[in-house]
Amino acid sequence: MNRLKLGSILALLIGPFIIVMNFLEINEKKAVDREGIEATAIPVTKMERRGRKGSRTYKLEIEFPTKDAKSQTAEVEVSKELYDNIEARPVLKVKYLEKQPSKVIVIGEPFGKPELTYVGIGVLVLGLFGTWWHFIRK
């Protein structure tokens, strides 16, 4: 089997995987938004990670008090604007789940990345076309 056939089969499997994982992440963050407890968090550390092709991920390590008066730390992904302006606004509003305080969202930040859904759809379409081209077309 040549590389293009294998690539089309992999794209046929990876496309739906990307879509489903993005959907689950968005639903998890929406559940935290619905059922979460609001708290005030203080950023402790700023982290910027660079990808292979120049992409960047901005994360903050935050510390916030939980309902049972304990201090909890968590790492949250934030937008570039919030990452750049965190010194001017050193307090964040967050929501966390009472049963799992490590699941935290920053209020006002987007729940997910809608572009990942489009990437997943594109990979799926390429996989469908490649599979049709290599296996069904004849």
Q: What is the pLDDT of residue 125?
A: 96
- pLDDT tens, 67-86? 877 888 889 988 888 888 88
The pTM score is 0.80
Q: What is the pLDDT of residue 131?
A: 92
pLDDT in tens, the chain (138 residues): 789 899 999 999 999 999 999 999 999 999 999 998 999 999 998 888 888 888 888 999 999 988 877 888 889 988 888 888 888 778 889 999 888 888 899 998 888 888 899 999 999 999 999 999 988 887
Cβ-based neighbours of 64, under 8 Å, separated by 6 or more: 39, 40, 41, 42, 71, 72, 74, 94, 96, 104
Q: Beta 56-65 vs 71-78: how paired, if at all?
A: antiparallel
